[in-house]
Amino acid sequence: MLLTVRAAGIKNYVLQEANAAELHAAVSQLLGGGNYFSPALYALLLQMHALERPTRRESEVLALLAKGYCNKRIAQRLGIQQGTVKAHMQSLMGKLGACSRTEALALAYQRGIVEIEAA
């Protein structure tokens, strides 16, 4: 569902039941150039995807990302194309409910999906 929402290009969403404080927060965020997604709906979507785990290959991409590898290096290391790495990252971001690679890595770490090695 979350991946479907992102694939559809939905970046902003306020529930009809939103109170004045939430409407104010949404408008402020949008006026500042940001995006706003109703916390209640976002939490529900994340809960629905909580059981969706990365594939073996996505886990490999995530592990190399945790080591600081860029897409080009990840592709070289795994013997795949850079576009394939990007596709795995998009899938991971959808599964984790992340908006960026950095957020995906942080969420994966928080959920115990990947470990970050000390340098």
Q: Which of 69, 75, 74, 82 is nearest to 116 (CA)?
A: 69
- 13, with CB counted inside 10 A (0-12, 13-18, 19+), is middle
Task: Return the minimum-mean-pLDDT range out of 42-56, 60-74, 96-110.
Answer: 42-56
Q: DSSP per residue over 49-79, as a string?
A: HTT-PPPHHHHHHHHHHHTT--HHHHHHHHT
Cα–Cα distance, 75 to 65 (Å, whole number): 11
Instruction: Please state the pTM of the whole predicted model.
Output: 0.58
Q: What is the mean pLDDT of residues 26-50?
A: 78
Phi, psi angle pair for 32, to nearest 5°: -80, 5
- Residue 119 is predicted with a pLDDT of 53
Looking up tokens 């991409």 gives 61
pLDDT tens across 54-75, in order?
A: 889 999 999 999 999 999 999 9
Q: What is the mean pLDDT of residues 80-89?
A: 96
- Residue 29 is predicted with a pLDDT of 84
- Residue 43 is predicted with a pLDDT of 73
The CA-based angle 108-72-86, given to 5 degrees, is 50
